[in-house]
Amino acid sequence: ETDVDCGGPTTCPRCADYAACDAATDCTTGACTMGRCGTTGCVPFPGGATDSFGYFGCSLTPTTLPCPDISTTGTALTLDDDDAVAIPIGFPFDYYGTTRTMVTLSANGGLVFDDTYLSFSNECFPLSATPYEIIAGLWTDLYPPDGGTVRYETRGAAPNRQLVVRWNVQHIDLSPSGMLSDVTVVLHESGDIDACYANTTFGDPFVDGGAAATAGISGSGTNHLQFSCNTNSLPNGLLLLYRHP
């Protein structure tokens, strides 16, 4: 085994799938692929996989997306166009060094800290205006009033609780007859973040697959980790992992 500690005791094996590894013996599965535990590997984000705070981002396309299905159990929100609502995370969640217990859930495909609004017009990171802290699952002009649902749910028991948020709504450019997004973001009590893209096809190449969206995380100042912005880089079945340092 190597000196990778995964935030836990130095006993072997000890690292869960997608944790950093240098050798197979670092991992509970006995496999280390492309520097991450497990057999699938995880491709580092293009243009830089680690930000100045230390978050690491990588992507993969697993056989089955791991994000929990809350389509029937999650709390459904009634959101108007460009609406947002503050929700409890359900546990202390560290984001860029600040412990959070509440987050603002936006109709436009993102979670925001210290703000109550996320513009319908997405931006690429770094943000041109005053930076605010955002988790961009599929930051684009989504439109809940014309069908679909936005749901959230806190699951599990300490120290492994999760906040799960799902956007299953239309894009405003194709409302009211477009296909529904199916994007889920999971905040882990460990500080890790997952984003599952079950469906990003609305029925128009100008918005399909993230062609008019931002996917990434941003803290205050210059800290940010972007996977894509306004490019068709979010195919159905994609999983993005953001690993807390």
Do 228 and 179 fall into the same domain? yes
Do 182 and 134 fall into the same domain? yes
Q: Is residue 181 part of a domain?
A: yes
**pLDDT given for residue 10 in this prediction:** 54
**pLDDT given for residue 218 in this prediction:** 95
Domain carrying residue 30: 1-41
Average pLDDT, rounded, for the chain: 89
Do 215 and 129 fall into the same domain? yes
Q: Is residue 114 part of a domain?
A: yes
End-to-end CA distance of the chain: 20
Do 208 and 107 fall into the same domain? yes
| pLDDT tens digit sequence for 159-187 | 999 999 999 999 988 766 678 999 999 99
**pLDDT given for residue 7 in this prediction:** 53
Neighbours of 96 (CB within 10 A): 20
Q: Is residue 125 part of a domain?
A: yes
Is 137 in contact with 183 (CB distance < 8 Å)? yes
Do 37 and 79 fall into the same domain? no
pLDDT at 209 > cutoff 80 = yes
Q: Is residue 172 part of a domain?
A: yes
Considering only CA atoms, which of 231, 192, 239 is closest in space to residue 211?
231
Q: Is residue 221 part of a domain?
A: yes
Number of structural domains, the chain? 2
Do 37 and 90 fall into the same domain? no
Cα separation, 243 vs 58, whole angstroms: 9
Length of the chain: 245
Do 31 and 105 fall into the same domain? no
pLDDT at 1 > cutoff 70 = no
**pLDDT given for residue 210 in this prediction:** 96
> Mind giving me the DSSP string for 76-116?
EE---TT-EEEEEEEEEEEETTEEEEEEEEETTSEEEES-S
Considering only CA atoms, which of 154, 137, 142 is closest in space to residue 75?
154
**pLDDT given for residue 130 in this prediction:** 64
Q: Which of 2-6, 65-69, 110-114, 231-235 has the lowest mean pLDDT?
A: 2-6
Among left, alpha and beta (phi > 0; psi -120 to 50; other), residue 209 is left
Do 118 and 175 fall into the same domain? yes
Do 177 and 235 fall into the same domain? yes
Do 37 and 149 fall into the same domain? no
Q: Is residue 57 part of a domain?
A: no
Do 95 and 184 fall into the same domain? yes
Do 150 and 238 fall into the same domain? yes
